[in-house]
Amino acid sequence: MVTSPASLPLSSAPPSPTGTLPEAARVFDSAQLLDGRAEIYIRHQGELYRLRQTRQGKLILTK
């Protein structure tokens, strides 16, 4: 699911260097990406990356 930054509470929007999101920014909720899983794989330019959530709730992206 893609959510527009304007529809997110301010506390949910990731900070940017200027403090606001660019108008064309796409925001994805990690819970929706992971969909109850501890990890997912993302293909980017022919390479496979693993996105996983730690027990502490942090995200780690590895190649």
- pLDDT tens-digit profile of 32-63? 999 999 999 999 999 999 999 999 999 999 99
**What pLDDT score does 4 carry?**
47
Query: Which is it for strands 47-53 and 59-62: parallel, antiparallel or unpaired?
Result: antiparallel
Could you give the domains of the chain? 5-62 (2.10.70.10)
Q: How far lies 18's CA from each of 5, 15, 21, 22, 35, in Å?
A: 15, 8, 8, 9, 31
**What pLDDT score does 22 carry?**
87
- pLDDT tens-digit profile of 2-12? 444 444 444 45
Quick check: helix, strand or coil at residue 18? coil
pLDDT over 60 (residue 25): yes
Ordered alpha helix ranges (H), 1-63? 30-34
